[in-house]
Amino acid sequence: MAISNIKTIIKRELYTYFNSPVAYVFIVIFLVLVGFFTFMISNYPNKFTDLDETVAIAGFFQWLPWFYLFLTTAAGMHLWADERRLGTLELFFTMPVTCTQAIIAKFAAAWIFLTIALLLTFPLVITVAYLGKPDYGVIICGYIGSMLLAGSFLAIASMTSAMTKSQIVSFLISFVLCFFLILAGWPPVTDMLVNWAPVQVIDTVSAFSVMPHFLNIQRGVIDLRDIVYFLSIIAFCLMTTGIILKNHAAG
């Protein structure tokens, strides 16, 4: 019964996504940004020389955290804010579905939508294959890391969406949180902090960052610790979302 409820909500949410022109505009903007930054900013054809360029697909993966900083938080800001703004949250939970099932289903639908947008970048892989002999295992790892990163940011957006009735406020809060998780371990920032902060402090702050874990997977290293890190963020944020929603419904 639980699986049936989750599947039903996922289908409804996906229908809502793809029945709106906003979803297609979202995907088009994402693909245009990917193409522009990969081929223009990263100067892809001229930089493709070795395996390292294959790993990054000429800057594609290195730009993804910054794309997701805007796009994933935008995709998740409406998950619960709309329900609260329209006053349908209480009605939603009177249906034969638990809070946990609803949270998992709405999150899964949004994650599937983002995954579809990511997989539509497959022409980049075709380009890599045409220009050289890439390590497809490394590229697959890059996509796996990107999906986990998107899921982590989306879970944060789901949590902030449950906090407020305003999509804009939800977007801003989740943006700040995700921005911190990027900067905390971004190599240029940590290199700058080395000049005045103790190594222990830098290591502690970096431990909260998504970047070291994302970069490890991007390089083709599937470490259980990195997987657990991303899944922990998702689990923590979704559990927090449940607590917030239950408190709001009880109040």
Tokens matching residue 76: 């998740």
CA dihedral (10, 13, 16, 18) positive or negative: negative
Q: How far apart are CA 247 and CA 84, in angstroms?
A: 13
Average pLDDT over residues 197-209: 76
pLDDT band at 215 (very low <50, low <70, confident <90, very high): confident
Q: How far apart are CA 13 and CA 106, in angstroms?
A: 7
> Residue 183: which residues within 8 A CB-CB, separation 6 or more?
189, 209
**pTM, 2 dp:** 0.87
Q: How far apart are CA 73 and CA 75, in angstroms?
A: 5
Choose from 58-72, 109-123, 124-138 the range with maximum mean pLDDT: 109-123
Q: How far apart are CA 71 and CA 12, in angstroms?
A: 21
pLDDT band at 111 (very low <50, low <70, confident <90, very high): very high
Q: How far apart are CA 143 and CA 6, in angstroms?
A: 25
Q: If you compute the radius of gyration of the chain from its CA atoms, what whole number of angstroms results?
A: 19
Average pLDDT over residues 185-190: 73
Average pLDDT over residues 37-42: 68
- Least confident segment among 11-15, 39-43, 48-52, 220-224: 48-52
Please check the confidence at residue 141 and state whether its pLDDT lies above 70.
yes
The pLDDT score that the predictor gives to residue 63 is: 82
- The answer to whether residues 163 and 246 touch, using CB atoms and an 8 Å cutoff, is no
Which ranges of 50-131 would DSSP assign to H, the alpha helix?
51-56, 60-76, 81-85, 89-92, 99-119, 122-131
The pLDDT score that the predictor gives to residue 92 is: 67
> Residue 133: which residues within 8 A CB-CB, separation 6 or more?
none
Mean pLDDT taken over the chain: 82
